[in-house]
Structure 1
């Protein structure tokens, strides 16, 4: 009888440990654009695939759960130009039914409960320049996560999400904060300076951010406490690693 009681206690302890591990699993939200028109050019845009895949696989490999949302939910548009550049993660993504499903059935941002996440990452591509600024759900989710001691992050054009995020005290999140974001030089090299609604670098500075210019198309990540930003696609993996380190208290 005593052995049966001890065995039952051991099983209960194992189950409790399992629940604790599940409860402690970190959770990150990656937000994609729903905008697919490149201004009035007749061309298509969307999110830049490596700015999803590089962070996503870093998070997953670190044991972090990842949800993928978009402004409108449903199919998030991929900028097809991404496939013209070699990237080892392209093939992985195309054969990953789980991540593919997350993109095709992305969660509508309005349905996101911010309290479930310890970090949010706004992915880039030209699309965010149209539907990230002034979005009420971006403001709601970002301010809630940040004020709950979580992390707000963005990569490349995804930094457009940060422009008007306002905290509960009325201050802008980026005011007097160092930010790495897509530069005017990089925009000009794409030939899109006169196509996008505004120049991201200029708008961030206008809103009080300290824009930290790195070399064009080279890795540049800036950690400003719990605001973590990356300049361009080359910065996506390092950005995720910085988020992981911050989540782990490193």
Structure 2
């Protein structure tokens, strides 16, 4: 059984501020809990490898299962301390790649060509590219051929402009996921703010917000059976 690759951010703060950000914990733990319960192993990668910070606000939205995984030696070591570098990962080992969110990804996911190359390789071998919330930023600039965005003419979702306004971060993020996705030809679909929602278009599976991680995992598992 092939593994699933979890992509995490290395960014510790909103650019040019002292406001801390990083991985939104539940977007990793809820997905990982779900796929591990189905028998899948996971690896963790980040743009730079190594340390992965947590968005402190995400710790307010935890339950016993989230905390148990967070406190595990495996997660502390392989996800938060010694995440892999993209160039050290072999796409052939994975059935899917999953881009987590947290505002930090807005700075280190969009232009990372190594992650883009991994994603395309996983797609080309029949695997799936998935994301949740701000993690859609990792998909926005992938080109499956010169001048053509992977998300063009695809139905996708991610953290909406309305949700960014409600989060109070519209003025500090470098771009708006919904706007860029639309500009790159995607059919951006969304439901009520902060409600679980995931959508699939072919080998792409995307979730709207932090409450959608399990829904993404469940859609992926349905395809991997």
TM bin (shorter chain): over 0.9
Deviations 1:191-227 (A, max 9, x none): 1101000011101100011100110000110011110
Aligned residue in 2 for 1:91: 67
Residue of structure 1 aligned with 2:51, choices 51, 68, 75: 75
- Equivalent residue number for residue 61 of structure 1: 37
Which residue of structure 1 aligns with residue 90 of structure 2?
A: 113
Contact residue 156 and residue 233 of structure 1 kept, 8 A: yes
What is the aligned counterpart of 1:36 among 12, 15, 19?
Answer: 12
Tell me the CA shift for residue 178 of structure 1. 0.3
Counterparts of 1:39 and 1:56, CA distance in 2: 29
2:148 paired residue number: 171
CA deviations 1:111-154 (Å, max 9, x no partner) are 11111111000000001100101211111001111111110001
Instruction: Report whether the alignment pairs 1:199 with 2:176.
Output: yes
The Cα shift of 1:86 comes to 3.9
2:125 aligned partner: 148
Q: Distance in 1 between matches of 2:216 and 2:141?
A: 21
1:52 deviates by 0.3
Counterpart pick for 1:188 among 165, 183, 203: 165
- What is the deviation of 1:168? 4.3
Gapped regions of structure 1 (runs ≥ 5): 1-24
Tell me whether 157-166 or 106-115 shows the greater mean CA deviation: 106-115
> How far is the alpha carbon of 1:170 from its aligned partner?
5.3
Report the counterpart of residue 128 of structure 1 in structure 2: 105
CA RMSD of aligned residues (A): 1.2
Whole-Å separation in 1 of the counterparts to 2:98 and 2:147 = 22
Whether the 8 Å contact between 2:3 and 2:41 is mirrored in structure 1 is yes
Point out 4+ residue stretches in structure 1 off by more than 6 angstroms: none
- Whichever of the two has the greater Rg, that structure is 1
Deviation for aligned residue 1:41: 2.3
- Does structure 1 retain, via aligned residues, the 8 Å contact 2:29–2:69? yes
Shift of 1:161: 0.5
The answer to whether the 8 Å contact 2:29/2:70 transfers is: no
Q: Deviations over 1:19-75 (max 9, x none)?
A: xxxxxx131000001111112221110010000000101111111110011111111
Gaps of 5+ in 2: none
SS at match of 1:125: coil
TM-score relative to the length of structure 1: 0.86
Answer whether contact 1:138 1:165 (CA < 8 A) is retained.
Answer: no
Tell me the TM-score normalised to structure 2 length. Answer: 0.96
Cα distance in 2 for residues equivalent to 1:40 and 1:201: 23
Instruction: Judge conservation of contact 1:50–1:89 (CA < 8 Å) in 2.
Output: no
Q: How many residues align?
A: 224
How far is 1:164 from its partner? 1.1
